[in-house]
Amino acid sequence: MRTDLAIGIRLATGRHALGRSLLVAGDIGLCVAVLLYAAGAVGPHPARLIAVGSVAGFLLAPLIVFIASVAKLGGPERDRRLATLRLLGASAVQVRRVAAAESLTGVVAGLGLGIGLFAAVRGLGALSWSAFVALTGIVPVLAAGAALAGTRSTVIEPLGVVREAETAARRLRWRLVPVGLGLALLAIGMTATGETADMTASAGLVSILASIPVLLPWLVERAVSGLRGGRPSWQLAVRRLQADSGTPSRVAGGVAVLLAAAVGARTVLRSVPPVPLLGEGIYLMSGFTLLVAGASLLVLVVQQLSERRRAVAALAASGVPWGVIGRSLLWQNLIPIGFGVLVADLAGTGLAATILRMVGARISFDWVFTLIVSALAVVMVMAVTLSAIPIVRAGAHSDALREE
Sequence letter at residue 88 = L
* Domain enclosing residue 332, as ranges: 3-154+170-394
Of 357, 387, 9, the residue nearest 191 (C-alpha):
357
Spell out the residues 6+ positions from residue 241 whose beta carbon is closer than 8 angstroms to its own.
Answer: 220, 221, 224, 248, 332, 335, 336
Of 209, 282, 270, 268, the residue nearest 63 (C-alpha):
209
In a domain, 328, yes or no: yes
Q: What is the per-residue burial (b if ≥16 Cβ within 10 Å, else e) of 180-215?
A: ebbbebbeebbeeeeeebbebbbbbbbbbbbbbbbb
Where would I find the H helices in 225-321? 232-243, 246-271, 282-307, 309-317
Of 117, 136, 96, 113, the residue nearest 37 (C-alpha):
117
In a domain, 176, yes or no: yes
pLDDT, tens digit, for every residue of 32-74?
887 777 666 555 444 555 666 666 667 667 767 766 666 666 5
Count up the domains in the chain and report the number. 1
Confidence of residue 404 (pLDDT cuts 50, 70, 90): very low
In a domain, 280, yes or no: yes
In a domain, 403, yes or no: no
In a domain, 364, yes or no: yes
pLDDT, tens digit, for every residue of 257-275?
888 888 888 888 788 766 5
In a domain, 159, yes or no: no
In a domain, 143, yes or no: yes
- pLDDT of amino acid 373: 85
Sequence letter at residue 39 = A
CA torsion through residues 232, 234, 235, 236, sign: positive
Dihedral through CA 255, CA 260, CA 263, CA 268, nearest 10? -140
Spell out the residues 6+ positions from residue 128 whose beta carbon is closer than 8 angstroms to its own.
Answer: 36, 39, 40
Q: By 3-state DSSP, what share of the chain in percent is helix, strand and coil, each rounded to 5? A: 80, 0, 20
pLDDT, tens digit, for every residue of 182-221?
899 888 887 777 667 777 887 888 888 888 888 888 888 8
